[in-house]
Amino acid sequence: MRLRHALPAGLLDAGFASLARLAIGIYAARALTVSDLGAYALFFSAFVFASVVPMQFVLVPAELATIPAARPERVALLRQSWRIGMPVSIATALVASVAAALGAEAPTRVLWPLALTMTACAALTPLQEHVRRVLHLAGISWHAALVSLVQLGCVALALLLLARTQVPAIWRPFGALTIATAVSLGAGLVLTRRRRRPSRLPRYEMTDLMRSGRWLLAIEAITAGATFLASVIVTRLDTPEALGYAEAARIVGQPIFVLAVGLSAVLNPRAMEAGARRDRAAARHVARPYALLLAIVGLLYGALTAAPWWGNPLAELVPQAYVVAGLVPTTVASFVLFGLPIIPRSELTGARRERVLPQVGVVAGVLQCSAALTAVWIGAFARPLGVALFGAILLLGYRYHQRLVYGSGSRGSSRAGERTGGTRS
């Protein structure tokens, strides 16, 4: 599929998936007290952590291993996905749920529903996102968008049904997302079954994938883990209400990160190919439009949502986000900085420089957690400050290693980068 056709599908895929989570977040912000919303925010951070571990540890390495195969043949990877993905997903979801329950300051009536529903949701989400990424890899991005559309529709229906049956509000956010994820995962597998054909893909073993994915896991675990720890620090140093206000602002600012994810779903494979070829010109052809579009949309969206006014419907939907003046534009800016390193990271991954990712990530994670300590003075602002600092450090670190990969010239004159950056993990 050509880039101009794949990009709209990638944006719609990420857009529908994000709208599903946005709907869950808005519902939580409106249905829960600010204190309970703070507990939900902590569990949501743990959910993100639990989702990225199986993806980066085994599923993404399996996807990368299919790149030498023809695009239509890559769909056959899904025959192995349950075997290689589900055990890690379940184990990580359980651990993350326990960690969130220990870190939250909330009564049992809040902890048990969040723990149970988050565990179920975190176990299924990596597989559903894996199906969508494989569809992109196979060149059928519009199928991935359809899977996300099914998820969005099921979220709306599940929230309606759970409310009609008078299920307590604390069960509904993750409960509805779990139902929608399960249904859309099934829809994705049905769609791919029609596309499968005889394939020469080998049988991938979890031990081999784990060795390949340990560096990808490290950076994602650092990213999600730092956000989780920062949320715990804000809760402990200030109040659960402060984290609740920060979570409400995150819900409003989330569409910027969705844009980054949607663009990267289509551009990441091209960035990895450019990095693998040490082709500076091809890498710039992908990275520059991505960064420019993200910055422009971030500026416009930040101006639109900075304050409550008649043209900002989110002010009515998530009023808690505007209790602390200036928190929303700060959060939007932090998401722009957080999204910018995505494409450079893919270039380094394609160049087989995965080892440097956690090295940069550790520094960024430490600084993010350090920024959370400022909650004593700046309250809810400590959370977006840490996110922005994390993204900025990643971007600076990746830029340094990109220069080592590409050398001083373009494709033909970057052999020095190959010598320094071509070691396999």
Query: How far is 45 from 246, CA to CA, in rounded Å?
Result: 12
What pLDDT sits at residue 185?
94
- Is residue 149 within 8 Å of residue 120, measured between CB atoms? no
Domain boundaries, the chain: 1-204, 214-414
> Residue 71: is it exposed, middle or buried by C-beta count within 10 angstroms (0-12/13-18/19+)?
middle
CA-CA-CA-CA dihedral for 365, 367, 368, 371, to nearest 10: 160
Q: Which of 134-148, 176-190, 273-287 ranks highest by mean pLDDT?
A: 176-190
Which is higher by pLDDT, 372 or 81?
372
What pLDDT sits at residue 216?
67
Least confident of 91-105, 122-136, 204-218, 306-320: 204-218
What pLDDT sits at residue 196?
61
What pLDDT sits at residue 391?
94
Radius of gyration, alpha carbons of the chain: 21
Query: How far is 313 from 295, CA to CA, in rounded Å?
Result: 22
201 CB-near residues (< 8 Å, 6+ apart): 66, 69, 73, 74, 76, 77
Query: How far is 289 from 283, CA to CA, in rounded Å?
Result: 11
Q: How many other C-beta atoms are found inside a 10 Å radius of the C-beta of residue 241?
A: 18
What pLDDT sits at residue 338?
93
Measured in whole angstroms, how far is the alpha carbon of residue 65 from the centre of its chain?
A: 21
Q: Which of 227, 202, 171 is nearest to 369 (CA)?
A: 227
What pLDDT sits at residue 421?
40
pLDDT at 409 over 50: no
What pLDDT sits at residue 418?
42
- Is residue 272 within 8 Å of residue 343, measured between CB atoms? no
Measured in whole angstroms, how far is the alpha carbon of residue 118 from the centre of its chain?
A: 16
What pLDDT sits at residue 192?
81
Q: Residue holding tokens 């209400």?
A: 241
What pLDDT sits at residue 197?
60
What pLDDT sits at residue 413?
41
What pLDDT sits at residue 411?
45
DSSP helix/strand/coil, 185: helix
Helices (H), 104-171: 108-137, 141-164
pLDDT digits (tens, 9 = 90+) for 315-341: 998 898 999 999 999 999 999 999 999
pLDDT digits (tens, 9 = 90+) for 239-289: 778 888 998 898 899 888 878 877 887 788 788 888 888 999 999 988 998
